[in-house]
Structure 1
């Protein structure tokens, strides 16, 4: 099962685009609204994590120190996909700082089309962006797998192949993300299934 750590309080009751994207894969998932429910109590019930976008890292950090949510993510042993704020959380847990980098709307991004997360996706696509911060550097233990013009670091992958971060929103098809970006979710599900064996 994939556990979605939903950080966007706009989806307090309604189904989020990330949940709709996972519905299309047929993969079993459970959603934890971190602003209400906190985090899964039993880490073993989750084979993979998706950390969604949102407006605050407060459930993950207390000042500069990791909170229980941050420790949950850091100690999680399965694959993790961080989207927007989720990628920034992975970077912060890895000791990287953030810089102001505002983008709103659709931009062109370039992908490492040979990376398993982007399997079946063209190397240049349009993607919806909605963020105020970005990464100034690729965190230690990661490599860059996606590039943009305004916010240069659009995707990262850990060298152990278990943690992935993307700055853009592949789930936001209705707001302009290229439909083929939905494959990221199916590809991530495949990575989770392979890691379970």
Structure 2
């Protein structure tokens, strides 16, 4: 079995420095839904690992977050694919949890769901350094997309060794499924 782990905001949907707070604000980046469907159809279990500190900050409820994920999953399903699992961190940056990226807690949780998969064969796709650091800390391969905060992340440098850089999730499919 093959597995890929995606960040959500900035990779699958448009991100905002003001947070994505409603289902209406959750808008997919062009091509991202089809890219997830393509990965799914290529035999990958597609999982999501997403920091959602807006919950801790009171910007939206867990019901709203669930509705956003239902919208995302429904769009992927309509495109012929499947999201296998979604893991989120509901904590703020000062809560001291072990799941918030750049810590590998969410990635490790996903990996335990698929014990037959070796971490070194899993791409973690993100648009921020913290996404890549979490993946590397869990033993996975880092892939940066330039969407969302990706260009900003690229400009800052200090990417983990071996980071692959792609324009967006659509172009990342060619690397991941190769």
> TM over 0.5: same fold?
no
Greater share of helix: 2
What is the TM-score when the length of structure 1 is the normalising length?
0.37
Greater share of strand: 1
